[in-house]
Structure 1
């Protein structure tokens, strides 16, 4: 139960955090002691952002630059996407482009390394 509550708190939006702070103050008389409310919210947002980045396990692979070896990049795009040569070339020509969606962390990192080895720039989001 406590773990579920912690997960819910970590996933709150800024608006929800402000609303929660108002409820805690109004209903229970609980308010920040040493820091200003805005500073507490900023700290909480920073922690939430950090946790979300750490917990992320599914990524989209986005091609940002083909580098100097465009042909090698087109071949690799064709290989990983299963698309034809023309479709792969179109993806490389229309940067930034999503090459693959919903990829697990290990596969995403492996693919990113392959692209970087041939001089391409890839972003994992």
Structure 2
């Protein structure tokens, strides 16, 4: 019996006969039907968006309390005092890059809490 004969025979079966055939195949080869997991539309896109690490945080304005902003920048970047002061004095400037959305928002919030203006791009 060729593969074409098998396919023709299966195509001519009723739903009940096909169900019986599947049951026999499951028993014969010791397998079971596994229902596919439900898929939520866009879930992969959401996960991909969360996994992206291409966010940057920019200091757009240093604000009036530069000392607090310098401390905040030192805290989030681990730069030294001189480098942090230079970054704050040269605003607008890049504070951090290669971040996830959550990390970028956290850094932006810390810098803004010190009195500066920052944005995530």
When normalised by structure 1's length, the TM-score is: 0.53
What is the distance in 2 between the residues matched to 1:84 and 1:118?
A: 17
Whether the aligned pair in 1 keeps the contact of 2:72 and 2:114 (CA below 8 Å) is no
Number of residues of Structure 1 aligned to a counterpart in Structure 2: 72
What is the distance in 1 between the residues matched to 2:109 and 2:78?
A: 19
Whether the aligned pair in 1 keeps the contact of 2:61 and 2:92 (CA below 8 Å) is yes
- Any unmatched runs of 5+ in structure 2? 1-48
Q: Where do residues 2-21 of structure 1 align in structure 2 (5 Å cutoff)?
A: none
Whether the aligned pair in 1 keeps the contact of 2:60 and 2:93 (CA below 8 Å) is yes
Is 1:124 aligned to residue 109 of structure 2? no
Which one has the largest radius of gyration?
2
* Greater share of residues in helix: 1
Q: CA deviation at 1:113?
A: 1.2
2:74 is matched with: 78
Q: Where do residues 24-43 of structure 1 align in structure 2 (5 Å cutoff)?
A: none
Q: CA deviation at 1:77?
A: 0.8
| More deviation, 56-65/107-116 | 56-65
What is the distance in 2 between the residues matched to 1:89 and 1:112?
A: 17
Q: CA deviation at 1:97?
A: 0.7
What is the distance in 2 between the residues matched to 1:66 and 1:115?
A: 9
1:104 is matched with: 100
Report runs of 4+ in structure 1 exceeding 2 Å deviation: 55-58
Q: 1:83 aligns to what SS in structure 2? A: coil
